[in-house]
Structure 1
Amino acid sequence: MMKNLIIGALASVLIAGASFAADWKVDHSKSEVRFGGTHAGNEFTGVFEKWQADINFDASNLSASKVKVTFDPSTAKTGNGLYDGTLKGEDWFKVDTYKIAVFEAVTFTHTGGNAYTAEGTLQIRDKTLPLTLAFTLDTNGNIAEMNASHSIDRIAYDLGVQSDADAAWVSKNIELKIKVVASH
């Protein structure tokens, strides 16, 4: 579940981080992909510590824009040792088998003002599903900041379905919060 959030968040950050023509370089010290939900009625939040994004985004030429975000699901951290260990296991990210998760987008739409959407796919474990990510993009000189929030259905990606398929313990939807700061 956290993996989905992180992947979605990373993808959002990469997409929004590029607002000028050509490639963008992510400033990881100012960027983050966060996720959250509930477990047994208690809220939890976490972050993906390792990810990389290849961003080629031009707001004046959206048809030539593309983003690929790759993240390491084994770096999903909540600060709770039980949760962190569980996320790496067979029922969740299965990190011994699936070393990366990937978001790729090649279709972008300007929806008004500083708002955009990116259409692509998110692969977690052996599931690849379509994902449309709404984001805002603010630029100042050669620096861009992208922000996005998105909900991901963990059940659709087979995350936690062996232990909690009906979402009685862990929320079905995992919320992603993505902030990406990049320069050109």
Structure 2
Amino acid sequence: MSALTRSVTLAASLLLASSLALAQAQKIVPAQSEIGFTSKQMGVPVDGKFRKWDAQISFDPKKPEAGSVNFTIDTGSAGFGSPETDAEVPKPVWFNVAKFPQATFQSSSLKALGGGKFEVAGKLTIKGNVKDVVVPVALAQSAGGVTVATGAFTIKRLDFKIGEGEWADTSMVANDVQVKFKLAVTGVAPL
């Protein structure tokens, strides 16, 4: 059912969580980072998140075009906080985790929009289906050396065959799934 929302997972992941291209390694701070998604089931928003994912980020805010952002999300880690719903997510009709255990995002371009805002374009792959996505990202830096990247974008679950068969009916589960992310990253050059 709501399993489709995890599909947002990957996309959000790409979020880029920037970093410097000088000497420091860019690292995600897992305890302060999250990739989530929201879908609507019978018109009611249902939130979920991915518990297991990884990102490789190479990003200098002064030279974003030279950067890259790659995410790998374990689709079986999608959870809604409901044991019944969480048990449905790995099934073939939703994420088909046995055949497609991971969703990925690979950036193709990063562009500065000004004011700490960036646009990351790339390929999102879920259940073997590849789509181009554009992810808006806002960066905020603190005195403690942590850069927080936030953003949200919407995907169409049926483009990725999430919710097949009877679940393809969008009157039960909406086609739009919003992917949201908050990534805390160390090692990012100043904006």
Q: Per the shorter chain, which TM-score range?
A: over 0.9
Distance in 1 between the 2:102 and 2:114 partners? 33
In the TM superposition, 1:14-163 aligns within 5 A as 15=16, 17-21=17-21, 23-141=25-143, 142-163=145-166
Residue 20 of structure 1 deviates from its aligned partner by 2.1
Distance in 2 between the 1:39 and 1:84 partners? 15
Matched position secondary structure for 2:12: helix
Residue 63 of structure 1 deviates from its aligned partner by 2.3
> 1:48-91 CA distances to partner (integer Å, 9 max, x unpaired)?
00000000001112222001100100000001222212211111
CA RMSD in angstroms comes to 1.3
Misfit runs of 4+, over 6 Å: none
Distance in 2 between the 1:161 and 1:168 partners? 13
Distance in 1 between the 2:135 and 2:29 partners? 21
> Percent sequence identity over matched residues?
23
Distance in 1 between the 2:64 and 2:117 partners? 13
> 1:120-163 CA distances to partner (integer Å, 9 max, x unpaired)?
00000110110110110112353210000111100111110312
**Quick check: 2:5–2:38 contact (8 Å CA) kept in 1?**
yes
- In the superposition, the TM-score normalised over structure 1's length comes to 0.93
Matched position secondary structure for 1:88: coil
Distance in 1 between the 2:168 and 2:116 partners? 38
Q: Structure 2 regions of 5+ residues with no counterpart?
A: none
Distance in 1 between the 2:44 and 2:55 partners? 32
The corresponding residue for 1:179 is: 182
Q: Structure 1 regions of 5+ residues with no counterpart?
A: none
Matched position secondary structure for 1:181: strand
> 1:16-47 CA distances to partner (integer Å, 9 max, x unpaired)?
x1142254100010000111111123321111
**How many residue pairs align between the two structures?**
181
